[in-house]
Amino acid sequence: MQQLGAADISLTAGIGMCVVLLGAAIALAVRTWRLRRGTTVIAAPTAEDGPQRAQPSPAEPVSWRLSLGVLIVVVATAQVVHHAWPFYALDMFSYVPTSGSRLIVLQADGTAREPKRFVDYRCDPMPTEYSLPAPGVCGTWTSIEVHDRASFFWILRHHGQPPPGAAQPLLLARRIERFDAEGGRERVDCPISRCVAREAE
């Protein structure tokens, strides 16, 4: 996992301040609405009594200062605990990733396909959701965990023995794309497991 730099922290703080300001605006709007809703007239003015002023409802609206204070505490707590329900730092918006990756299967001619395009997998070793590429080949990378798990679980749910005439040799690999500030791109295919499978119908 990448660490946040000074610019990332500044962006996170900026997002936090936007949340605080939005919360304060909502609190002020709610306070105004409650004041208007709670205002009632005691009686119509008469010549003897003179004009009467509208009286607010006894119900006291929540102070905007309290709302602002709660929002500040929530944002500060999220920065400390990072991800612990109900607090979230939303750090996925605080940095620009320099790499991305996904799981693929490579056919004998080098064509990259999605794992879901094949069934009856027989792999050596059989991959799991914790399978990693060979050490020293890939370095570091970022990925979307839910997509990785979907690919791994597909292979596990569709393992078997493909018919001899339909079996294809496949290489399960992690394809990593790395980017730099100048717009350059590097692609690396990191082997995980060798398999045979048949193409899904």
Res 6: pLDDT = 41
Per-domain residue ranges of the chain: 6-93, 99-199
Q: How do the pLDDT tens digits run along the chain, 201 residues long?
A: 334 444 444 445 555 555 665 666 676 667 666 766 655 444 555 555 555 555 545 444 556 677 778 888 888 887 777 777 777 776 666 667 788 889 999 999 999 999 999 999 999 888 876 667 755 667 778 888 888 889 999 999 999 988 888 899 999 999 999 888 787 888 989 999 999 999 998
Q: What is the pLDDT of residue 53?
A: 55
Residue 193: helix, strand or coil by DSSP? Answer: strand
The amino acid at 47: A
**pLDDT for the residue 151:** 92
* 144: nearest Cα among 82, 190, 195, 92: 92
Measured distance CA(121)–CA(161) in Å, rounded: 7
Report pLDDT for 28. Answer: 67
